[in-house]
Amino acid sequence: MFQELLKIYHSGLVNEGAPKCLFAETLIFNEGWLLRSVLKEWLTGSRYSQFRFLPFPKGARLYSEGQLRTPFKARYRGDDQAESHTRVDGIVGDFSIVGTKSGVGLNSDFRYIAVFEAKLYSRIATGTKNAPHYDQVSRTTACVVNAVLEAGARPDRSAHVAVLYPEDNVHIKPALYTETYIENQIDKRLQAYTEANGPDDTVTRFTMGWREAVKNVQIWFLTWEDVLAEIGCEDLDRFYHLCKRFNR
């Protein structure tokens, strides 16, 4: 995948001086294509990994830009405590596309789900319009929990949320996202949502099961440097360095 993107880039270097390329380099060199390339390497490889959410199970699906349904959906038009579904950069596991062209639903017998957020030099989003202090990691975790509960699966199935970022992105602080912190963030969000206008069926199911299910969601922060060092592909390393160059 990334080899083809590198070829497209080199074929686009047609100008003398700046801009050398006939298109904006960030169309190719961005966190989305970097993540897709890494996930494909992980999916097709079978080598030992230091990362404990690997290897992906045999037969697992991979999808990019899928939407996980939020437990905090609009109860009526203009609900000021609601939020939209969460679009995730990558997802791997036992799921189907349901409801919409990109809506992700877990299979009732799912074994494994891993959701990936890819960063270059952006920060982790600190909140949503209606919940300004409900950060991106907590929100994604809650949506993973909601997917597990919607599927009616046992809450102890393997579930992961991973954030991949450059080692020199000083804005990302992994130590902040402890189990206690995530649980407190979700609890505060749930209380604000239900106190405003009462629960619906979705949030009632979430309320009953989230505390048990969230304990089985493992949160990972990985640097691209560690990930790519383990994969050991010179072309992918070069792709990453160009991503960094064009996104600083």
User: Strand 95-97 relative to strand 112-118: parallel, antiparallel, unpaired?
Assistant: unpaired
- The per-residue pLDDT of the chain, averaged, comes to 92
Helical axes 136-151 vs 201-214, angle rounded to 10°: 110
Confidence category of residue 155, pLDDT binned at 50, 70, 90: low
In angstroms, rounded to a whole number, what is the distance separating the alpha carbons of residues 231 and 28?
21
Position 199 scores a pLDDT of 67
pTM of the shown model:
0.93
Phi then psi for residue 200, to 5 deg, are: -120, -175
- Is there a cis peptide before residue 132, judged by omega within 30 degrees of 0? no
State whether residue 132 is helix, strand or coil: coil
In angstroms, rounded to a whole number, what is the distance separating the alpha carbons of residues 31 and 26?
9
Tokens linked to 220: 């990972």
| Straight-line distance from the first to the last Cα atom of the chain, in angstroms, rounded to the nearest whole number | 23
* Residue 17: strand pairing partners: none
pLDDT tens figures, 36-66 = 999 999 999 867 899 999 999 999 999 999 9
Q: Which residue type does 23 have?
A: F
Is residue 102 scored above 90 in pLDDT? no
Q: Which carries the bigger pLDDT value, residue 68 or residue 156? A: 68
State whether residue 13 is helix, strand or coil: strand
In angstroms, rounded to a whole number, what is the distance separating the alpha carbons of residues 49 and 221?
15
Tell me the domain boundaries of the chain: 52-231
What is the chain's alpha carbon radius of gyration, rounded to the nearest angstrom? 19
Percent of the chain residues topping a pLDDT of 70: 98
Q: Which carries the bigger pLDDT value, residue 184 or residue 155? A: 184
Position 22 scores a pLDDT of 94
Position 46 scores a pLDDT of 66
pLDDT tens figures, 203-241 = 899 999 999 999 999 999 999 999 999 999 999 999 999
pLDDT tens figures, 106-138 = 988 889 999 999 999 999 999 988 899 999 999
